[in-house]
Amino acid sequence: MRRIGLVLGLMLAMQVGPAMAQIGPWMAFFDRGQDVVTPQAAAILRSMADSYRESGGQMQVMIAGHTARIGSDQANVGLSQRRAANARALLVAFGVPDGVITTEAFGESRPLVETADGVAEPQNERVEITVGPGSGW
C-alpha cells in the first residue's frame, strides 16, 4: 500500500510540478520616455508567451512597469502604467489569458541601475515580467 501511495505521489508531482515552477523573469526595454513596445521588446514578450504556453499556461503573470529618473514622480508612474498595459495587451494577443495577468506601476522607485535624479538610464526604461507562484513584488 505504501508503494502505491509513493507512486501516486510521484505521478501527482509530475503533473503539478512543472506547472507550479516559476519561469522567467523577462525584461523588455522601452525607448526613453516612450510607452510603445519596440520590435525587440515584442520579441521578448513573444518568447515569454511561448514559454508560458509550453509550461501549461495556468500560472499567474505579473507585469511591473518602470521608468528612469527623468521627470516628475506622477508622470513616471503614468508612463510605467502605460508600459505595463501595452505589454499586457501584447501578451494577450500572443495567447496569454488576460485573467491571469496583473500589472503594477513603479515609476522611478525601483531602478535596475541606481542613478541620480535627472539621469536617463536606458536599463531603467522597462517592464519586468514574472510568472508562477509568488510572482510580483
> Model-level pTM?
0.82
Number of neighbouring beta carbons within 10 Å of residue 7: 10
Q: Are 71 and 32 in contact, with CB atoms under 8 Å apart?
A: no
Return the CATH number of the domain spanning residue range 22-131.
3.30.1330.60
Those residues of the chain that have pLDDT short of 70 are: 1-22, 134-137
Tens digit of each residue's pLDDT (9 = 90 or more) over 54-85: 988 889 999 999 999 999 999 999 999 999 99
Cis bond upstream, residue 133 (ω within 30): no
State how far the alpha carbon of 94 is from the alpha carbons of 5, 32, 34, 51, 53, in Å. Answer: 40, 25, 22, 11, 10
Domain positions in the chain are 22-131
Amino acid in the structure at residue 59: M
